[in-house]
């Protein structure tokens, strides 16, 4: 018997259905591994209440519940999904470790400067230092993109077959799609395009978009 998997997502995502919130990577991983899941939608208010804080101590989405297991942190959730079913991590132990290294690279090396720039745009726009700081934040991102682009080269994926490392890296890079920052490294938009063309990605994207459309019509 299979245990129901329940994840949480924004009841009303600020990305307006663009699939940029972090439930998207969890949905995609579940789709890649062929696992059905339920979604519990949460409001910003509910996220800060004890019931949700018991699942996610920082009051954020996504969370993941499966039987007695409750998990938070999108990277840990994707790793759990990838470890339990074939499709997202190689069987060979060394290749598996390398794929996991790319998961960490996506979340702890590439994503932080991207988030820093986004946060500055939301929080610091209008401050007198904002225009001076922006090129510094963008240069940090360009450095990472240039390094990633060189490593990827002409390969379809970062290390052999598509893996959870690629899944996370594509979701991270998508956050830059409208920034112009990807223009200097054309193999990265092509890499994103390969990721988002996967049927599992399309199913996950459609599912999160349906939440936005339903909220808009309500
Ligand atoms: N490290 C955690 C993880 O990976 O799970 C970070 C989780 C996180 O940042 N969650 C965000 C959240 O719950 C949603 S994804 N924020 C509410 C809060 O902190 O109060 C981040 C996000 C939000 C919005 C957009 N957007 O509008 O484009 C993109 C990404």
Residue-range domains of the chain with CATH: 5-87+200-217 (3.40.30.10), 93-198 (1.20.1050.10)
User: CA 201 to CA 195: how far, in whole Å?
Assistant: 7
What the block records as the tokens of 183 is 């223009």
Q: pLDDT 10s digit of each residue in the chain, 218 long?
A: 679 999 999 999 999 999 999 999 999 999 999 999 999 999 999 999 999 999 999 999 999 999 999 999 999 999 999 999 999 999 999 999 999 999 999 999 999 999 999 999 999 998 999 999 999 999 999 999 999 999 999 999 999 999 999 999 999 999 999 999 999 999 999 999 999 999 999 999 999 999 999 988 88
- Give start and end residues of each alpha helix (H) in the chain: 23-32, 44-47, 50-53, 74-84, 93-104, 111-123, 130-152, 164-174, 187-196, 199-217
Q: Is the CB of 46 under 6 A from ligand 1?
A: no
Task: Kindly give the pairing relationship between strand 5-10 and strand 63-66.
Answer: antiparallel
> What's the pTM?
0.97
The alpha carbon of 10 and the centre of ligand 1 are apart by a number of angstroms equal to: 9
User: CA 218 to CA 215: how far, in whole Å?
Assistant: 5
Q: Is the CB of 185 under 6 A from ligand 1?
A: no
Q: Is the CB of 21 under 6 A from ligand 1?
A: yes
């Amino acid at each position: 018997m299979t245990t129901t998997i329940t994840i949480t997502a924004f009841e009303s995502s600020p990305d307006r259905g663009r699939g940029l919130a972090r439930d998207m990577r969890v949905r995609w991983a579940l789709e890649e591994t062929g696992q059905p899941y339920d979604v519990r939608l949460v409001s910003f208010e509910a996220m800060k209440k004890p019931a949700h804080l018991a699942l996610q101590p920082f009051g954020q989405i996504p969370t993941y519940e499966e039987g007695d297991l409750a998990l938070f942190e999108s990277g840990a959730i994707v790793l759990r999904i990838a470890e339990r079913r074939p499709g997202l991590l190689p069987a060979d132990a060394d290749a598996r470790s390398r794929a996991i290294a790319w998961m960490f690279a996506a979340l702890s090396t590439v994503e932080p400067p991207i988030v820093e720039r986004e946060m500055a745009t939301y929080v610091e726009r209008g401050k007198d230092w904002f225009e001076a700081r922006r090129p510094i934040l963008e240069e940090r991102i360009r450095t990472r993109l240039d390094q990633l682009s060189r490593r990827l080269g002409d390969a379809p994926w970062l290390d052999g077959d598509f893996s959870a490392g690629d899944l996370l890296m594509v979701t991270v890079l998508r956050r830059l799609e409208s920034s112009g920052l990807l223009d200097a490294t054309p193999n990265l938009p092509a890499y994103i395009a390969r990721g988002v063309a996967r049927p599992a990605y399309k199913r996950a994207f459609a599912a999160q978009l349906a939440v936005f459309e339903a909220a808009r019509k309500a």
